[in-house]
Amino acid sequence: MSTAARTPPRVVLVDDHGLFRSGVRAELGHQVEVVGEADDVAPAIDVIGRLIPDVVLLDVHLPGGGGQAVIAAVKKDHPDVRFLALSASDAPEDVIAVIRAGARGYVTKTISTGELADAIQRVADGDAVFSHRLAGFVLDAFAAAPSAQDVKPSFDPELDQLTSREREVLRLIAQGYTYKEIARELYISVKTVESHVSSVLRKLQLSSRHQLTRWATERRLA
Amino acid sequence: MRPRAVKGYGEGPWSDPDPGACRLGGYQGKSRWQVRGPAGDDGCVQEPSEPTWPPFRFHDRHGWRAERDWQAQPDWQPRPDWPARARRWRHRGNGEPLRRDPEDRLAGGVAAGVAAWRGFSPTTVRIVFVVVTLFSQGWLIPFYLGGWLLIPAKGAEASIGSRARHDSRGIALAVGLATLLCVLLGLASVLNPWLINTYGWQQVVSVAFLALIWRNTPDSEQAALRRLVEPLESLGPGGTRASRGTAIRLSAAVALLGAGVGWLLTSHESIALLRPLAGLILVTAGIVLLLGPWWLRIARDLVLERQARARAEERADISSHIHDSVLQTLALIQRRADDPQQVVQLARAQERELRSWLFEGRTLGDGDATTFAEGIKQIQRDVEARHGVPVEVVTVGDCQLDDDLTALLAAAREATVNAAKWSGASVISLFAEVEPEQVEVAVRDRGKGFDPDAVPGDRKGLAESVHGRMSRHGGSAAVHSALGEGTKVTLTMPRATTSADAAGGGSRR
């Protein structure tokens, strides 16, 4: 997506609050190109299918089903469209569900405009965007010690756990470090940080580990 | 000092108050008085509020009595759970004086009131009432109505009876009705003196009571009474809406009733056992046909009414919560619109509270932290409230507090407060991770930073309370700071070996 890196990415906003959409549109107007808006699952699928944007800014909670419904429907026909989940909610299981459905990142609605534009650009470039909160959720999900009967033989056991380097990166993200600061802290390049984050994202999406679902259930019940 | 387990409520995974009985992932510390942590030396752990679990309400008041009974019967083998049994059987119920319960009534709410008073199910009490009515030849009915008259409703000051005393017209009406009924019964007893003498005369009192209740009950209860009387209206000539089905039903019922009553009235001369039985069956069939639809409607109305009430209560609950929290904060924000710092602080505090209410199902500020993650959130609350600097918190894993972790929390609090006071940063990041072998806390800001070597000796804050606390409990603290680049304090506390085992299946990789 080298072209997208130079021209402003084309963005579709999906959020059920009109005020929020217009706010984002007004603030992001000159940094990204907002090509469309939708307020629910069905119109979102329609708009995205017509416009094929680079990035969809997707609210986790929508009246007609979660954000994951949109991702699942769009991914079938347009695997190139990238999603950045956005929510005011802290419920970890919802966030993890959207990420597992295929979103490239998650930011909270309290994010500043500059950071949001930056995150959109990053997603458009094919990178993953982890907010400090998401990093905490992911660490939590992968940290829960699997009990013996719970571990299903995975087709790729690598997917079921994070490497120590990935954990370090996630920890620093959770502490609010930027990628550049992480790179300096760990004596690695920013590109390496990005690849670590992408690999965490891949594991999160592909892991067949039951733990992730069980963890989410526990969070809800607890 | 080990945390003290408080008996009773949901002694789930931590019934053994092992100080390090920890687990990773997920929230578990729901019952807040499960384990009382030791009070922190700087008071950061507050006293938990008094438990309100009902069975123990009477403990102090009645404990001595169980004790005395025990001593008075030396040959009686005390059972180990005797105090609990005594409480359970002597003091079940809600411990309040007997009140009718109009919230949960079929007729006057007497049965529901008795049930709540003695701690039975209302259904049980109602069944007992009906059975007693049958066996006492109907004597329970006047007693029930007397109870309705004399027992005050829940939340009401006076009983209906106390109001009825001043209702001279009502009394006159009651006496008149009773007299009329007496005359009627007297006439009827010519036909069947046995039946009337057995079942009739008691109801004279009932009718008088009912008249008094009808005249003096508040509007809400009158509605219930009216519903009970409603079908009788449809029997009268005014019931124009009676369809053909109703007409058929009514005539069939009247025929059955007539036949049955006639049979019963003539049966006193007969000694055949079958005849009164057949008469009873006919009467019953008639009554069912006559009143069945009405009973069904009453049952349905009751269910609907109860659902509506539950919904209304829920709505009231939510709106009062929104009022107490969100609306108040919005009002404050409007008033302080010229102070952005304050506005941000208010909005953040409100956001956090609403979130925890919505997604974690608890209200903030109620009681004490019993787990490490709750303790960290408490730090966030307090620092944001007192110093007005947002604190971004990320916690990974959780476990029960023990002495060492309380010290770690105190050190983390000190470091966070330090950052809020001195760094000048706009946001502080507080990261806590519970691992099987250790617990780590990182407090980080992007403020002005300082040169750790150049701190004058009289500034004890960081050195004494953070380093000192940590090393006393076997942990360690590291401070990274440079002028203009912010500060990061990393605190590490090893966990007791037993707790690592208890953390859920050993190490994680």
Class of domain A2-127 (CATH, top level): alpha beta
| pLDDT given for residue B324 in this prediction | 66
Residue ranges and CATH numbers for the domains of chain B are: 1-49+367-509 (3.30.565.10), 58-90 (no CATH), 95-238 (no CATH)
DSSP A61: E
**CA distance to partner chain A, nearest, from residue B506 (Å):** 8
Task: Report the helix count and the strand count for chain A, using DSSP H and E.
Answer: 11, 8
> Which residue of chain B has the CA closest to A181?
B485
- CATH 3.40.50.2300 occupies which residues in chain A? 2-127
- Does the distance separating the beta carbons of B24 and A145 come in below 8 Å? yes
Residue among B26, B444, B503 whose CB faces A176 most closely:
B444
pLDDT 10s digits, B319-375: 767 766 777 778 778 877 787 887 888 888 888 778 777 766 554 444 466 788 888
At residue B364, the 3 state secondary structure works out as coil
pLDDT 10s digits, B478-489: 888 888 888 888
| pLDDT given for residue B437 in this prediction | 85
User: Is residue A90 within 8 angstroms of chain B, CB to CB?
Assistant: yes
Query: Do residues A130 and A173 lie in contact, with contact meaning Cβ atoms separated by under 8 Å?
Result: yes
> Which residue of chain B has the CA closest to A216?
B26
Which of these, B137, B125, B165, lies nearest to B149 by C-alpha position?
B165
pLDDT 10s digits, B74-116: 444 445 555 555 555 555 666 667 778 777 777 778 888 888 7
* Local confidence band at B441 (pLDDT 50, 70, 90 cut-offs): very high
Query: Do residues B403 and B20 lie in contact, with contact meaning Cβ atoms separated by under 8 Å?
Result: no
- Does the distance separating the beta carbons of B505 and A148 come in below 8 Å? yes
Type of residue numbered B274:
L
Strands B438-445, B487-494: parallel, antiparallel or unpaired by DSSP? antiparallel
**CA distance to partner chain A, nearest, from residue B368 (Å):** 18
- Does the distance separating the beta carbons of B26 and A144 come in below 8 Å? yes
pLDDT 10s digits, B358-372: 766 554 444 466 788
Q: Which of residues 149-208 of A touch B (CB under 8 A)?
A: 161, 171, 174-176
Range A136-221: architecture per CATH: Orthogonal Bundle (1.10)
User: Is residue B258 within 8 angstroms of chain A, CB to CB?
Assistant: no
pTM equals 0.49
Residue B133: CA count within 13 A, CB half-sphere: 14
Q: Which residues in chain A are closer than 8 Å to B435, comparing Cβ atoms? A: 143
* Local confidence band at B442 (pLDDT 50, 70, 90 cut-offs): very high
- CATH 1.10.10.10 occupies which residues in chain A? 136-221
* Local confidence band at B421 (pLDDT 50, 70, 90 cut-offs): confident
Which residue of B32, B353, B355, B396 is the best one to mutate when testing the A interface, meaning the one whose CB has the most A CBs within 10 A?
Answer: B396
Low-confidence ranges of chain A (pLDDT < 70): 1-6, 89-90, 144-160, 207-222
What are the tokens at B86?
A: 């005594």
User: Is residue B28 within 8 angstroms of chain A, CB to CB?
Assistant: yes
What is the complex's ipTM, to 2 decimals?
0.76
- The beta-carbon contacts of B204-210 under 8 Å, at least 24 apart in sequence, are B204/B178, B205/B142, B205/B145, B205/B146, B205/B178, B206/B141, B206/B142, B206/B145, B207/B174, B207/B177, B207/B178, B207/B181, B208/B174, B208/B175, B208/B177, B208/B178, B209/B142, B209/B145, B209/B146, B209/B148, B209/B149, B209/B174, B210/B145
Crossing angle for the helix pair B274-322 and B244-266, nearest 10 degrees? 130
